[in-house]
Amino acid sequence: MKFEKRFLTEMNRCYSANSIVVDGQSRILLATEGEGPCLAWSGPDYEASHTVWDGPGGTMSIVPIPGTNGEFLAVQKFFKMFQWEEAKVVHVRPLASGGYAVSDVLHLPYIHRFDLLSVGDRLYFIGCTLATTKQSKEDWSDPGKIWVGEFIPGKPLELSVLKDGLTKNHGYSRLTQGAAMTSLVTCEQGAFDVKPPQAPGAAWQIRQFMDWPISDISAVDIDGDGELEFATIEPFHGSYFRVYKKIDGKFCKVFEHPEVSEFYHVVVGTTLAGKPVFIGGCRRGKQQLFYVHAQPGSTLQLRAEVIEEGVGPSNVYVLHEPGRDVLVAANREKAEAALYFFNC
């Protein structure tokens, strides 16, 4: 696969990436985890940027609100490695004038990842706090939690704790199968899948399916046999990028990236040109952005291909457009926001 890269802008500590649709047109979003901006580029050419906010920054996650004209939620003020007491979720609404209205929704210290899950015409919020309190970067004595609640636009967001005791509660990805959405959450204790209530008044469901330290996770049927494979980063901000397949009821490792280097940080299960892949990235060592695919004619032989080296991505979002796929990359260690186009 051949990718065409487009440099967008320099951005110190570039971290979060996503996209929204405003008046039928895509806008990609990139934001810093440091003090600084969130910027947007409008399709179809994504040539010119405009500012969503100048600050405060500290943006870990950006999540579009379904059924709206480009509104989204985002984390702000998640700063540094332990000064996260002021972390919050904000609501962002594009204005007809071209600007954005930003308002506070929720103050939740240490909130790192969150999502909105659709069940019929209802929306449910799930938020993951990395810890509950911290006295230093190395202090993990007060574990994080999974917070849940129904998201009703215009009403206060009321949350309850679904599960606590989750040390280094770092990893999150959404798994969509048909119309059903599931959350995958990872921490030192392992991996959990979380399902929102399937009917009004029903309970959330949570199930542990892996029991070793995992930093991040994503899933896709990479070999086309009808069963999901799971790519993981192990352990916290870890040195290993691995893929697991369930064989005879047990998870078996079927791939490990050849470079052992601390701070793997990107793992995304997606498709490129309609073919299932995992996209990965590491912030140390060779600082590669890469993808993993099944070799032709093989169900278990996986191979990694380098997209670019020396960029150190923190997060990647994949946008599927007619005739092409677009990788929106927050290349943190190179301090850049970039796009990678792949023509289908």
**Spatial distance between the Cα atoms of 277 and 67, rounded to a whole number of angstroms:** 28
pLDDT digits (tens, 9 = 90+) for 304-341: 999 999 999 999 999 999 999 999 999 999 999 999 99
Q: Tokens 């594009």: give the residue.
A: 94
For residue 257, is pLDDT > 70?
yes
Model pLDDT, residue 322: 95
Under the banding of pLDDT at 50, 70 and 90, the label for residue 77 is very high
Kindly tell me if the per-residue pLDDT of 225 is higher than 70: yes
Does the structure show a pLDDT above 90 at 296?
Answer: no
- Look at residue 175 in the predicted model and tell me its pLDDT: 97
- State residue 136's pLDDT score: 86
DSSP string across 113-172: EEEEEEETTEEEEEEEESBS--SSTT--SSBEEEEEEEE-TTS----EEEEEEETT--EE
180-206: average pLDDT? 97
List C-alpha distances in Å: 286 to 18, 122, 226.
Answer: 25, 44, 34
The whole-number pLDDT of residue 179 equals 87
Query: How many other CB atoms are found less than 10 A from the CB of residue 306?
Result: 10
Distance of CA 324 to the CA centre of its chain: 21
- Residue 8: count of CB within 10 angstroms of its CB: 20
Where do we find the tokens 């600007």? 99
Sheet containing strand 160-166, strands side by side: 111-119, 122-129, 144-151, 160-166
pLDDT (mean) for 264-283: 97
Q: What is the pTM of this model?
A: 0.96
- Residue range 241-251, pLDDT digits in tens: 999 999 999 99
* Confidence check: pLDDT of 81 > 80: no
Mean pLDDT, residues 40-61 taken together: 96
Confidence check: pLDDT of 83 > 70: no
The residue with greater pLDDT, 189 or 179, is 189
CA atoms within 13 A on the CB side of 78: 28
**Lookup result for tokens 């990139």:** 30
Is 2.130.10.10 the CATH classification of the domain at 215-344?
A: yes
* Of residues 311, 305, 320, 319, the one with CA closest to residue 338: 311
Q: Which among 339, 341, 344 has a CA at the least distance from the CA of 29?
A: 339
Q: 313-341: buried (b, 16+ CB within 10 Å) or exposed (e) per residue?
A: bbbbbbbeeeeebbbbbbbbbbbbbbbbe
Average pLDDT over residues 115-130: 97
- Given a cut of 90, is residue 84 above it in pLDDT? no
Question: pLDDT digit string (tens) for 89-101?
Answer: 999 999 999 999 9
What per-residue confidence (pLDDT) applies to 82? Answer: 59
Percent of the chain with pLDDT over 90: 92
Residues 314 and 157: their CA atoms lie apart, in Å, by 29
Q: Please provide the average confidence, as pLDDT, over all residues in the chain.
A: 96
